[in-house]
Amino acid sequence: MTLAENDTEEAPMDVAATAATKAAKPMQSEFSPELLRVYYARLFPYREMFQWMSHGNDPDSSSPLVEKDYFLRREICFTLKDDVYVRYNCFRDAAEFQAGLQKRQPYKIDVGAVFSLPPRDHKTVRPGAFQPVERELIFDIDLTDYDDVRRCCQGAKICNRCWRLMVTSVNVLDEALREDFGFKHIFWVYSGRRGVHCWVNDKEARALPNDARASLVDFLSVHCGNENTTEKTNLRFPLHPSLKRAYGQMVHDFPRDILCEEGQGYFEDLEGCEKILKTMPSKEMANELMRRWSSATDVSTAEEKWAELCNCISMRESGGRAQRRKSAADYQALEEWKTKLVFEYMYPRLDANVSKTQNHLLKSPWSIHPKTGRVCVPFLATEVTKLDPFAVPTVRTLCDEIDAYGAEHAEEEEQQETPDVDKTSMASYLALWKRHFLDGLYSDIRKERRDQMDERLEF
């Protein structure tokens, strides 16, 4: 990857969608520089992005409570063609941000921290003067980290069967952030290919120092092993209430998402059964179950196998006091094994390094993934089951939709007044982001400012 700071040529801004789609159609690519120019010229939500990244700090505001250089101190990183990596970009306002994107035409946009000084000046000050002072709490979950679980896909490839792991991760992590930490202003973003990103925007979250971020991530992380280790989790019993709640969420879907054919199908063949049973603390019980399931007469379904396993490890044998005491200890170990199994296969696997420091970049919402051409669209955790990663619009489909709208409404004068984004399937994602995130964020910002002004007047 090449490093650069200010060495790229200006790209044309005023490009017609029709010309771009025609230029890209011979290869039928979902991504091309021509399509990207249309996206930045006609579809990218500059105003909403500025509203989000400035957190109410408009440089043109007359309010004494506004940090007028707040957005200017925000780092925005561009990845250009041929992996030219341009860090420490910064802009005064939405207009400068728009001009910068349309000039550079980045293949990828990453959002960084708010620093003590404008990032472009980082080389002009003494060492230690340029420091991150604020940053959203961020999380990155990628399906490649589940390759030891996935039987359907590996690497960058995904399908609807393994995408269920992302659905569970979103549900579990979102509830933990809200219930255990009290965070409110959270939004989720599809990464454009094989994962999801979470942005926590509460003022308290943005102010967290690195050591607090690291502690929070450690609290939320239970996966500690790899394919060469026997112990894959760091669980301790009895479970913390947060983990107990997460277990209740995951165990319900474990048979469908891990054991059955519509998921990873571990209990659909003997190889998968053996992989799970060989980790049981009771080898005698594991061998007995394997003997039954490998019988030529066995016709049990994956759900029935799971029910049989759960019934076996919850049984209590009769006998004398010593026997009952030994039995209780054995079955306690089996119950804990079952819990660890569910956590190992389904609990969110966080990229801890992304979350632990303020000065870590993360791909911006509304960026385009250059490998797939898909838009990194926001979504609600409560509606994650409705998110189909294969139906998320690409930059090509958006340009085609603009053209189709123009052809359908060619004789209507009012089509000239319709914003281009409203002619596309991106409109619903943008409306969702505004209604369910930005509106609530700014409502709280205005309330906080009113309270601060009241305090000043009282003083």
Please tell me which residue in 140, 174, 257, 268 is annotated as part of the active site: 140
Burial grade of 65 (CB within 10 A; 0-12, 13-18, 19 or more): middle
Question: Helix, strand or coil for residue 264?
Answer: coil
Please tell me which residue in 30, 75, 134, 202 is annotated as part of the active site: 75
Six token digits for residue 260 = 């059955």
Q: Judge contact between 222 and 232, C-beta under 8 A.
A: no
Burial grade of 319 (CB within 10 A; 0-12, 13-18, 19 or more): exposed
Q: What is the C-alpha to C-alpha distance for residues 404 and 391, in angstroms, rounded to an integer?
A: 18
Q: Tell me whether residue 140 is one of the annotated catalytic residues.
A: yes
Q: What is the C-alpha to C-alpha distance for residues 5 and 1, in angstroms, rounded to an integer?
A: 13
Nearest to 166 by CA among 458, 428, 390, 445: 390
Q: Tell me whether residue 269 is one of the annotated catalytic residues.
A: no
Six token digits for residue 231 = 């112990």
Q: Tell me whether residue 83 is one of the annotated catalytic residues.
A: no
Q: How far is CA 393 from CA 20, 397, 412, in A?
A: 17, 6, 26
Nearest to 63 by CA among 453, 404, 456, 457: 453
Please tell me which residue in 110, 136, 142, 420 is annotated as part of the active site: 142
Cα dihedral 343/347/353/357 (nearest 10): -110
Question: Helix, strand or coil for residue 101?
Answer: helix
Q: Which residues are catalytic?
A: 75, 140, 142
